[in-house]
């Protein structure tokens, strides 16, 4: 008998439409993905979890097809470990950057 639980492994949500990067997927495919990821996360009954999606080799993308990882985080040692140094940003500089991005959306 297996002692493996659904909370012990990561799960993938994979769109049928092929795209290497998330920004290449149709809006329809993107709109379909998050509700599926939500249902998988709820089915795992894991109180803590990460939903991860990587775009590009430098961002740790290995498979050249968009997919979302649902990774249970049962404790500090298991699951996804995320850490990067914080950065203090001037509020006016941040506001200017936000305006630049907003103009492109």
Dihedral pair phi/psi, residue 35, rounded to 5°: -60, -35
Show the beta-strand stretches assigned E in the chain: 11-13, 49-52, 68-72
Q: How far apart are CA 28 and CA 32, in angstroms?
A: 6
Q: How far apart are CA 26 and CA 19, in angstroms?
A: 9
Q: Please indicate whether residue 67 is annotated as part of the active site.
A: yes
Q: Which of 18, 23, 65, 67 is catalytic?
A: 67
Catalytic machinery residues: 67
């Amino acid at each position: 008998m297996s002692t493996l639980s659904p909370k012990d492994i990561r799960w993938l949500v994979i769109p049928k439409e092929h795209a290497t990067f998330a920004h290449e997927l149709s809006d329809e495919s993107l709109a379909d993905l998050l509700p599926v990821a939500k249902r998988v996360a709820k089915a795992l009954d894991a109180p803590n979890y990460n939903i991860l999606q990587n775009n590009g080799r430098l961002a740790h993308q290995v498979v050249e097809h968009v997919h979302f990882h649902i990774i249970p985080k049962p404790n500090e040692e298991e699951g996804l470990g995320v850490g990067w140094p914080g950065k203090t940003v001037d509020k006016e500089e941040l506001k200017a950057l936000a305006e630049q991005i907003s103009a492109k959306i």
